[in-house]
Structure 1
Amino acid sequence: MDIKKILSIALIGGLTQHAFAQYTEDAFNFSRTETSTTARFSALGGQQTSMGGDLSSIYGNPAGLGMFSRSEFGFSIGLNSYKNNHTFLGNTGTDNVFNPTINNIGIVLHSPVSKYSGDTKKGLVAVSYGIGYQKNNYFKNELNLAGRTDNNGLSDFFADQANLDGAIDPTKLGSETIFGAYHGFLIDRSGNSYVPNTYTDSDQSINVMRKGGQSNIDLSFGLNFSNQVYIGAGLGIASVNYKSRETLLDNGDFLYDIDNPITPAPPAGQPQYPEFNPRRSYNANFYRNYDTEGAGVNFKLGAIIKPVDEFRIGFSFESPTYYDLTDNYYESLSYVSPYNERIYREENFPMTYNLRTPLKLNGGISYIIGNKGFLSADINYSDYSTAKFSSNLKGTDRNVNDGIQQSYKDVVNFGVGGEFKVSNEFAVRAGYRYLADPYNTKISNNDNAINRYSGGFGYKVGTYSIDAAVMVYDSKDGYNNYTLSTGDQPYADISKTTTRFSITFGARF
């Protein structure tokens, strides 16, 4: 099947409706990145806009590079733990997922200018250059769902898709898998519409496996003017690698009435339905595979002002990331028909498109408490409804962008954190961050805002340092393998507890 043919069948036809929803969701997922930080700033809650002097400045506010007084190298490793508690068709379950990561690795090269001029109080004092790799989004997850639906099983989905397709002649249905559902009698014709050809109850078992992530290679520099004003800029080369595997097993019975069959009588020579067993079972396997990858570019500008030694005020701007993405969607349907015919149909939909993520604005303020520590607060703004999808299919672009604007909204996130030096070598840290609900259309009846708590410590000996952090938060999510026009498809409510551990090793030179 040609993707252009399928995506132009109707405004919302069968697989078009599913493609629109998938691209809308991907636009949001690829936009909701968080700048990677060292374990030191992770323990503070991620606040780094106004502090500076940390490797996190490579990835966040590049003006903070101007606060370096020496060159430095460091890398951060981590472990992400996800606990998914879910309810599906009346059944509850839990899935645990662990994901070891390299969070970031970077180097800052400090170049003092004052050694040539001899003046450290006026004009350009120093320039610092940074290059680093950061992982700023993680997709790894797994769900295992099972339950019994009294209505709206897989045959209802395919009947719904066939009716949305609008082809009265089944041989002209715009999808191989929909035609496979008709050919094997999961669905049938009734007048001018398609209807399920199964009993309403069925057992469903779903496995979802996702992996991949997003990352940036950042090239940044920061300037130090008179040890009071710091200005920086950075260029980011972004990449996306997302893979998802979804398998639905739907086990039920074909609808067959001995006195008034919906399906035609078996052809001559084929096994007849035994009169003592009017219900004949099926076990349908509906498989979906999503692969998306690509690259993009973004840039950052930032400034930090130190009006007095105790206060720092920071601002940064992160441009949209302009992605060039390739998506390959594959699906297959397999089962045995009532006449013992092996049904197998598959589809492959390649798609190339561009995605522009929203811009991000950040502000922050820090208060330095002598040589005992500091307090820092950040505020961040982004409007997810401004993400832009574009391809060579204008109808698809219009529907996906309408879906983005209707589904998502602008958010204001904020956080606060602090560090206290127990001694010259040892410091403890704690932080809090609030991530506002980005959904216009709710995933569930719950508020999808996130309250994230963090803490950690750091130890320095000579020119070496080690920092550790942990972040813990709960979030709400949801999942449905397919959608129905009526909106009452089987749905899983998911409560996810995320725990992230990170350790940063650093060396100054």
Structure 2
Amino acid sequence: MWRKISALTGILLFTISIAWSQGYVESALTFSQTTPGGSARIQAMGGSQIALGGDYSSAASNPAGLGMFNRSEVTLTPGFTSYNNQSHYFGVSQDQSKSKFVVPGFSLVLHIPSHGNSGFQGGAFAITMTRVNDFNAPFSYNGNPNTSKLQSFIDDANGYTTDQFDPNGSTNHNRYNSPTGLAYFNYLIGPAYLLDANYPDDEYFTDVKKLPHQSETVQNDGIINQWNFSYGGNYKDILFFGASIGVSSLRYKTTKTFSESFTDDEFVNGWDMNENLKITGTGVNATFGATVRPVDFMQIGISYTSPTFYQLSETSDATMNSSWKDFYYYSNKPNYNGQDGNKKLGNESSFTDQVISEYSLSAPHKFSAGLALISKYGLITGDIEMRNYSKAKYTSSYNSYIDFTDSNLGINDTYKSVVNYRGGLEGRYKIFRLRAGYGVQANPYRGSDYDNSIKTISAGVGIKLEKFHVDFAWVQSKGNSLYAPYFISDGSGPIVELQTKIVTGLVTLGVNF
């Protein structure tokens, strides 16, 4: 399949949920990393929420916090997000931005009081929707590298016979539906025996001799929304406990347009390739949590979220076009173009079939702990979150032809266990609230010295009335990443440096009843 990946790719690339290259190793991390979602109140405090309660955000993070509700509530959280990527490629910088309206949160919390005298004081049942990942960050780049992607096609083709590029040929590792197959049918690469009949049928060359000017645009779109069905209980206002079932809806779509142009090549003007990939699916997990209040001003929370088991469906296709300078391409096959085995190349094109596959992904579990110090003047809170991204694992469906052995080995060799942390504070004066927060999503790559952590700062205000509350949050995330358009056989290849900034403004409107 045309999304074939090596472990080396995963080692060199950094993915921050919105800038990723092709490959199952990278998508395992992309779909496993989640951001702390929830209400504008929680977002303004850096996403720190494990030890807090009385907010619908607890349903997805630590459902024990639902036990602190003493009345029912319905909320809606709309927002607006701006995405910006700045690329750096062989001395050329380029910016690309995108903005869109979002609805990252909704909740219905029903308080269920207790009528007994056993110490159990009731609890709350909640149905919530929380956005836990966002893939909407396009980027583009251009420059003059010291290699051509055609070399990567040659490297990929070597070892395959020409029969394996024929749609009606060998079914063993058929290369027809691949970018390399597109290059083959655009005559950008060809069998080396055309140069010398003594060469074997599984070695390739290109007639293009000059270095290109390259450009690529990557348009990403997608989200992971998680619906949680949760319950939290309260024992003597000292011990709070809860459990939640999460159902995640994943949608990811990307379109990549890559091109190479040659100003002084003898035979070719240039070529471009368009790749489309769509992944959709549903995942299920469970979360269990507890919060203890040993003294009135302190709360300590812990929670565990099981692996998220996704069932995914993938659809992909690609097209390629090339422009030649009336170049005569020679083949030793009889009647290749109806006469003498020559073909005059002008504008050529080829396309793959639409490739559909289904498979499963297990995203790793996480363990979280938090501390909150609370007074009538406000609070200070902090969380830590532990995840081992090397435990992500793919499984082929019964009707899938994909072998995930190499990808799973690549995941284990590429990623590591991390500790993410976040903290926030809230000041209170009568009905007014003032908040700020900070968070770090740690480097997930094993043996990497590159600073590819994601740092988030946030701030917000709120008004809390008897029957109504409104909260506003401003959240900014920044991170650096590396994107590799292709690799060649010695493991080298050009690298695009990306600086990403995502800014979100959101409002939570809540009504108590």
**Fold similarity call, TM over 0.5:** yes
User: Is 1:487 equivalent to 2:487 in the alignment?
Assistant: no
- Deviation readout 1:124-146 (Å, 9 max, x if unpaired): 11121000111111111211212
Asked whether the equivalents of residues 208 and 267 of structure 2 are also in contact (C-alpha less than 8 Å), the reply is no
User: Which residue does 1:365 correspond to in 2?
Assistant: 371
Give me the TM-score of the superposition, normalised by structure 2: 0.85
Q: How does 1:63-462 map to 2 (within 5 A)?
A: 63-113=64-114, 116-117=115-116, 119=117, 122-149=118-145, 151-165=146-160, 174-175=175-176, 177-190=179-192, 191-192=199-200, 193-252=203-262, 279-337=266-324, 338=327, 339-347=344-352, 348-369=354-375, 371-392=376-397, 396-421=403-428, 423-440=429-446, 442=448, 446-462=450-466
| Consecutive unaligned residues in structure 2, runs of 5 or more | 8-20, 193-198, 328-343
Q: Is the 8 A contact 1:39 1:469 kept in 2?
A: yes
Counterpart residue type for residue 233 of structure 2: L
Give deviations 1:190-240, integer Å, cap 9, x for gaps: 434312321231122211101011111110011111111111001111111
Q: Secondary structure at the match of 2:435?
A: strand
* Cα displacement string for residues 238-291 of structure 1 (whole angstroms, at most 9, x for unaligned residues): 111100000112112696xxxxxxxxxxxxxxxxxxxxxxx2332212111110
- Cα shift at 1:164: 4.8
Residue 56 of structure 1: aligned partner: 57
How far 1:486 sits from its partner (Å)? 2.4
SS where residue 79 of structure 1 aligns? strand
- Unmatched runs of 5 consecutive residues or more in structure 1: 13-19, 256-278
Change (3 A) 1:316 1:336: same
Shift of 1:465: 0.9
Q: In 1, Cα distance between the equivalents of 2:450 and 2:159?
A: 31
Q: Secondary structure at the match of 2:152?
A: helix
Alignment partners' CA distance in 1, 2:380 and 2:189:
64
SS of the aligned residue for 1:396 comes to coil
The amino acid of 1:458's aligned partner reads G
Task: Provide Cα deviations, 1:342-394, integer angstroms capped at 9, x if missing partner.
Answer: 4222223221100000001010111112x111111111100000001010569
- CA drift at 1:336: 3.5
Please tell me the residue identity of whatever aligns with 1:428: L
* Closer, same or farther: CA 439–92 of 1 in aligned 2, 3 Å: same
SS in 2 for 1:307: strand
Could you tell me which amino acid in structure 1 is paired with residue 188 of structure 2?
A: L
Q: Distance in 2 between matches of 1:25 and 1:11?
A: 10
| Partner SS, residue 34 of structure 2 | coil
Contact 1:199 1:254 in 2 (8 A): no
Could you tell me which amino acid in structure 2 is paired with residue 387 of structure 1? A
Q: Which sits farther off after the overlay, 475-484 or 99-108? A: 475-484
How far off its partner does 1:154 sit?
A: 2.9
Structure 2: distance between partners of 1:102 and 1:250: 39
In the TM superposition, what whole-angstrom CA distance separates every residue of 1:130-186 from its partner, at most 9, and x where no partner exists? 00111111111211212223x321322221221153658875672255344334432
* CA-atom RMSD in angstroms: 2.6
C-alpha separation between the residues in 2 aligned to 1:204 and 1:334? 15
Against the structure 1 CA distance between its residues 82 and 420, is the aligned structure 2 distance closer, same or farther, given a 3 Å change threshold?
same
SS for the counterpart of 1:354 is strand
Could you say which residue in structure 2 is the equivalent of 1:464? 468
Whichever residue aligns with residue 419 of structure 2, its letter is V
- Aligned partners of 1:74 and 1:105 also within 8 Å: yes
1:129 and 1:182, CA in 2 relative to 1: closer, same or farther beyond 3 A?
A: closer
DSSP-derived class of the 1:46 partner: coil
Distance change >3 Å, CA 484–CA 99, structure 1 → 2: farther
Secondary structure of the structure 2 residue equivalent to 1:25: helix
Shift of 1:108: 0.6
SS state at 1:447 partner: coil
How far has the Cα of 1:123 moved from its partner? Answer: 2.0
- Would the aligned equivalents of 2:3 and 2:23 in 1 still touch at CA under 8 Å? no
Q: Distance in 1 between matches of 2:230 and 2:469?
A: 23
49-58 vs 140-149, greater mean Cα deviation: 140-149
Q: Is the 8 A contact 1:21 1:400 kept in 2?
A: no
Relative distance call for 1:7 and 1:317 in structure 2 (3 A) is closer
Given that 2:415 and 2:444 are in contact with CA atoms closer than 8 Å, whether structure 1 keeps it comes out as yes
- State the SS of the aligned residue for 1:489: coil
In the alignment, is the contact (CA less than 8 A) between 1:50 and 1:312 conserved in 2? yes
Query: Residues of 2 paired with 1:504 and 1:377: CA distance?
Result: 22
Alignment partner, residue 15 of structure 1: none
Q: TM-score, normalised by structure 1?
A: 0.86
SS at match of 1:59: helix
Letter in 2 for 1:70: R
> More deviation in 62-71 or 28-37?
28-37
Q: CA separation of 1:108/1:44 partners in 2, compared to 1, >3 Å: closer, same or farther?
A: same
Paired with 1:326 and 1:482, the residues of 2 have a C-alpha distance of: 25
Distance 1:183 1:504, change over 3 A: closer
Range 489-498 or range 20-29, more displaced: 20-29
Determine helix, strand or coil for the equivalent of 2:386. Answer: strand
Question: Using the alignment, how far apart are the partners of 1:291 and 1:502 within structure 2?
Answer: 28
Please state how far the C-alpha of 1:405 moved relative to its aligned partner.
0.9
Q: Secondary structure at the match of 1:98?
A: strand
Residue 408 of structure 2 aligns to a residue in which SS? Answer: helix
CA contact (8 A) 1:184 1:336 kept: no
Distance 2:380 2:262 in 1: 60
| Contact 1:11-1:395 within 8 A present in 2 as well | no
**AA aligned opposite 1:252:** F
Secondary structure at the residue paired with 2:494? coil
Relative to structure 1, the CA distance from residue 385 to residue 429 in structure 2 (aligned partners, 3 Å threshold; closer, same or farther) is: same
Deviates more, 1:289-298 or 1:332-341: 332-341
SS of the residue corresponding to residue 486 of structure 2 reads coil
Per the TM alignment, residue 90 of structure 1 is displaced from its structure 2 partner at its CA by 2.1
Q: Is the 8 A contact 1:431 1:453 kept in 2?
A: yes
